[in-house]
Amino acid sequence: MNIQIITVGKLKETYLVQGIAEYVKRLGPYAKVQIVEVPDEKAPESMSAAEEVQVKQREGERILAKLHADAYVVALAIDGKPLSSEELARQVQDLATYGRSQVAFVIGGSLGLAPEVLARADLKLSFGRMTLPHQLMRLVLVEQVYRAFKIMRGEPYHK
């Protein structure tokens, strides 16, 4: 399975870079993982609603340009469907079973995802109603993808 994680912005925090690298390494025997960073749109601290729409639209265009045409797209969204780790594992297993070997997880910028990206998504996935920094979400996501593969294989993993 080929997993693409498309994210907005550059990751700078060393501890997050190291954590993500560790889980990508652990995923090596199970899947090919590619992390794609698209530039975030420079925006003033206080923006009008119209400016926020423009920022999300520009970031969304960059995200859509990186998606493979045949990818199954999972957009991370607060209002998405909440899944347990086991349910995520079943979802990934079903994709593999039915020949959907290209899976793209999309994490938006600080303002979220553009409507066009959400419309392209096959699944909107929520990790809960709390807002998490999008940089931290990368680590949480890659850990959950790793956990999903461990569950799918029936291999032990700490609780």
Tokens for 68? 């493979």
Phi, psi of 43 (to 5 degrees): -145, 145
Phi, psi of 51 (to 5 degrees): -65, -40
Which segments are annotated as binding site? 76, 108, 127-132
User: Three-state SS across the chain?
Assistant: CEEEEEEECCCCCHHHHHHHHHHHHHHCCCCEEEEEEECCCCCCCCCCHHHHHHHHHHHHHHHHHHCCCCCEEEEEEEEEEECCHHHHHHHHHHHHHCCCCEEEEEECECCECCHHHHHHCCEEEECCCCCCCHHHHHHHHHHHHHHHHHHHHCCCCCC
Which segments are annotated as binding site for S-adenosyl-L-methionine? 76, 108, 127-132
